[in-house]
Structure 1
Amino acid sequence: MNPPVVLTIAGTDSGGAAGIAADLTTFAALGVHGACVVAAVTAQDTTGVRAIHPVPLDVVAAQLDAVLEDLDPVAVKTGMLGTPEVVRLVAERCAGRILVVDPVLVATSGAVLADDSVVQAYRQHLLPVATVITPNEEEFLALGEPDHAGVIVTRGGDIDTTNDHGTGCTHSSALAAHLAHGATIPIAAERAAAYVSQQLHLGKNWTLGRGRGPVAHIQGEHS
C-alpha cells in the first residue's frame, strides 16, 4: 500500500538540525512520504542564526500548488513561514486538511524569526484553520491561547542533554506523521513525545558543533 503523504512548509537549516531537514528525516523514520515547500532559507549552525532569506511569495505558491495538485497530502505541517503573506497563503490553500502548525517565532538560540506582522497573520488566518498547534512556551505567550485548535506546548522532555536543536520541528513532524496514519490527536501527541525522547536519548552524548547540537535524526545505535 502507498504511504501517506505529509507536506512540510518550512525553512531550511544549513546545519541539518531543524526545519525541513528535521521534518523529512522524521517523516521517513515514521513511515510517511515527505514532500516539502521551502518558505525561507537560513544560514545557521549550532550556535545561532546568521541570516534569513524569505522565499518570494510566488515561488512559495508555485511549490505549494505543485505538491497539492499532484500528491494530495493527507497532512500538512508548517514551520518557519517567513512573511505574513506566506502565512495567509498557507491558511487559504491548506484549510480543510490535517494541519499541524508549529509557529516558529523564536529559535532555540533565542534568535527572533518572525516580526509582529507575522504573529498577527498567524492569529488572524492560520491558527483558526489549524488542527493542532505546537508552540514552545515563548511562542505560546506571543500568540495567546487560540480558540479554534488543540494546543500542545513543545518541551524538550527530561533528557539531560544540550543536543536539542530541532526538538520542536521533530516533535511537530512526528505528530503530523502519526495523524496522517490515522491516530487521534491525544495518541499522536503521546507517540510524538515518545519519539522525541527516544531521539534525544540517542544523541545525548554527541559532540557535533560548538553550540546546542542537533537532536538525533538517525535510527539505532551508532558509534
Structure 2
Amino acid sequence: MERSVLTVGGSDSGGGAGIQADLKTFAALGIHGLSVITAVTAQNTLGVRDVFPVPAEMIASQLDAVADDFDILWAKTGMLFSPDAISLVAERLNALDCSVVVDPVMAAEAGGSLIADGALPALIEKLIPLASVVTPNIFEAEAITGVKVSDLESARAAALRIIDMGARAVVITGGHLECRTAGLPAGECVDILVTKDGAACISGRRRSGGNHGVGCTYSAALTAYLSAGMSLQEAARQAQEFAARSIEGSRQVGRGTAPVDQTAGLREDAERFRVLSSLDQAVSMLAEERMFVDLIPEVGSNIGMAIHGARSEMDVAAVEGRIVRAGRRAHVSGCMRFGASRHIARIVLAAMRFDPGIRAAMNIKLDEYVLSEAACMGLRISSFDRCEEPPGESTMSWGTARAIERLGAVPDIIWDSGGMGKEPMIRILGRDAVSVATVAIMLSRAVGKR
C-alpha cells in the first residue's frame, strides 16, 4: 500500500492556506494527501471574516473514516481552533500511533485570529507532547513560551522551552526574523532546528513575493519529506527551499496578500525542460543544414532561449562553446545548459523587458545580402551603433534596447557594423529557439542561391 499523509486543519475559502495549501503541497511532492477539516473559514487574501468550527462528532467521523482505510504513518496539524477540537485530535492521533508535525496556527498572514480564546493551554498540554516536530513562526513561539524572540539565541531559547513541553524537535521558522540582529548577512532567511541534542541553523536566500499560506506550506512539505524517510535536518532544508520557491512563484490573484504557489517549482522545472527541448531541436536543425555554415561568424554562432519570466542569465539556456565551422559543416562544440552564454542571455533579457514573449536569440555574421533577404521576407530590422554606447554599459543589453527604441518594437533582426576588435554581427530574435533557427535556415538558403 502506498503511503498517505494526513492533514488536520481548517479550510481557507481563498485557497491560499490551511487544508488547501497542505493538499497542494502534498500533490506537488508526489504524495496522496488525506484531510480532516476542523473549521471552515470565510477568508480571502484580505483576511479572515468568519470561522465556523466543525462539530466534534464530525471531526471524529472524518478521522475514523481515513483511519479505517489508509495506512497513516505521518500526520500534520494546522488550525484546530477550539480546546475541544485540540483534545479530540490529540486523542485520536495518539491512538493512531503515527508521527505528528504540529503547526501551531494562530493567525492568518492576511490578518485574523484562527484560534479561540482559551485554546492555547490545550495545545500546549495535549498536542505538543505528541509532536515529532513543532513548526512555529516567531510570534507563535512567543505565544506558546512567553519568550520574546528577537534573534537566533532567543529563538533557540523558545525552542528549548517547547522541547521541555514534550516535543521531540522544534523548527522556528525565520521568515519574520530580521537576520541582521543576529549578525548574519542581510537577505538571508534562517530557520533554527532544535532537539534535545543540539541546534542547527538552516539558512537560505530570502525570496520576494507573497507569503499567504507559507507557514502551512512549510510544515506540509516538512511532513512530506519526513514521510519519505529523510533525516530531520535534510527534510527541514528541503522544506525551506520548497516554501521559498512557492513564495517566489506567488501570484497576485486577489487584492490582498498574494498566496504562495506550491506548483511554482514544478512549473519552472517543466519550463526549463521545454526550453532545453526547443534548443536541442533548433541546434539539430542548424547542424543538419549544410547552407547554414556560410552564416557562422568568425567568433562562432550561438543560440539561446529563456524560461518564461526569466530574471537572470541563469534563466537563459544556450550552447556551451558555441556553434563553429568544421569544414563545410556546422559543429556544435558543447552541451546545452542554462547560463552558458552571457552574450546571448543579455540580448534575450533586454528584449524580454519590452516584450516578454520574445525569449530566444542567435547571432550570425553580418552580410548585406542577408539583410536584404530579411527585408524581403517581411522581417522587422533595426540596428545600433557601438560608437553611441555609453561608458560602463553592457554592449548587448544597451545595443538591444537601443535597436528596440529606434524601431518602436522588438525587431526580428538586430545588426551592428562592429567596432575595434568587434566583428560585425546580425542577431535574430524570436519567440522560441526553433522559430529563430527556422529564420536562420531560410536566410542561409537564400544566401546559398545567389
Which interval holds the TM-score relative to the shorter structure? over 0.9
Q: CA deviation at 1:72?
A: 2.4
Aligned residue identity for 1:210: R
Equivalent runs, 1:102-181 vs 2, <5 Å: 102-144=103-145, 145-146=161-162, 147=164, 148-149=166-167, 150-156=169-175, 157=189, 158-161=206-209, 163-181=210-228
Q: Could you say what secondary structure the match of 1:207 adopts?
A: coil
Q: Could you say what secondary structure the match of 1:81 adopts?
A: coil
Q: Could you say what secondary structure the match of 2:12 adopts?
A: coil
* Separation (CA, whole Å) in 2 of partners of 1:195 and 1:217: 8
**How many pairs were matched up?**
219
Query: Larger Rg: 1 or 2?
Result: 2
Equivalent runs, 1:56-95 vs 2, <5 Å: 56-95=55-94
Q: Could you say what secondary structure the match of 1:50 adopts?
A: strand
Aligned residue identity for 1:72: D
Q: CA deviation at 1:59?
A: 0.2
Gaps of 5+ in 1: none
* Separation (CA, whole Å) in 1 of partners of 2:20 and 2:51: 16
Contact 2:73 2:227 in 1 (8 A): yes
Tell me which residue corresponds to 2:50.
51
Tell me which residue corresponds to 1:207.
252
Q: CA deviation at 1:183?
A: 1.1
Contact 2:48 2:111 in 1 (8 A): no
* Separation (CA, whole Å) in 1 of partners of 2:128 and 2:105: 13
* Separation (CA, whole Å) in 2 of partners of 1:107 and 1:207: 17
Q: CA deviation at 1:141?
A: 0.7
Aligned residue identity for 2:34: A
Contact 1:77 1:99 in 2 (8 A): yes
Contact 2:3 2:71 in 1 (8 A): no
* Separation (CA, whole Å) in 1 of partners of 2:21 and 2:27: 10
* Separation (CA, whole Å) in 2 of partners of 1:30 and 1:108: 23
* Separation (CA, whole Å) in 1 of partners of 2:32 and 2:252: 30
Deviates more, 1:84-93 or 1:40-49: 84-93
Aligned residue identity for 2:13: S
Contact 1:172 1:192 in 2 (8 A): yes
Q: CA deviation at 1:93?
A: 1.3
Q: CA deviation at 1:116?
A: 3.9
Q: CA deviation at 1:115?
A: 3.0
Q: Which has the higher contact order (CA 8 A, sep 6+)?
A: 1
Task: Kindly report structure 1 stretches of 4+ aligned residues shifted beyond 3 Å.
Answer: none
* Separation (CA, whole Å) in 2 of partners of 1:184 and 1:51: 39
TM-score (norm 1): 0.93
Aligned residue identity for 2:74: A
* Separation (CA, whole Å) in 2 of partners of 1:113 and 1:202: 25
Q: Could you say what secondary structure the match of 2:13 adopts?
A: coil
1:114-140 CA deviation, whole Å, 9 max, x = no partner? 134210001110001111001111111
Match status 1:183 vs 2:184? no
* Separation (CA, whole Å) in 2 of partners of 1:208 and 1:89: 36
Contact 1:155 1:168 in 2 (8 A): no
Aligned residue identity for 2:256: G
TM-score (norm 2): 0.47
1:123-178 CA deviation, whole Å, 9 max, x = no partner? 110001111001111111111132222111123341122x1100000000000001
* Separation (CA, whole Å) in 1 of partners of 2:13 and 2:256: 14
Q: CA deviation at 1:10?
A: 0.6
Q: CA deviation at 1:89?
A: 1.3
Q: What is the alpha-carbon root mean square deviation over aligned residues? A: 1.4
1:45-94 CA deviation, whole Å, 9 max, x = no partner? 11100010000000000000111121021111101012111111111111
Aligned residues with identical type, % of pairs: 45
* Separation (CA, whole Å) in 1 of partners of 2:116 and 2:19: 21
Q: Could you say what secondary structure the match of 1:27 adopts?
A: helix
Q: CA deviation at 1:207?
A: 2.3
Decide which structure has greater strand share: 2
* Separation (CA, whole Å) in 1 of partners of 2:262 and 2:240: 15
Aligned residue identity for 1:176: T
Aligned residue identity for 1:37: V
Gaps of 5+ in 2: 146-160, 176-188, 190-205, 272-307, 309-450
* Separation (CA, whole Å) in 1 of partners of 2:136 and 2:67: 25
Q: CA deviation at 1:217?
A: 2.4
Aligned residue identity for 2:89: V
Deviates more, 1:107-116 or 1:132-141: 107-116
Choose which of 192, 201, 217 in structure 1 pairs with 2:262.
217
Q: Could you say what secondary structure the match of 1:23 adopts?
A: helix
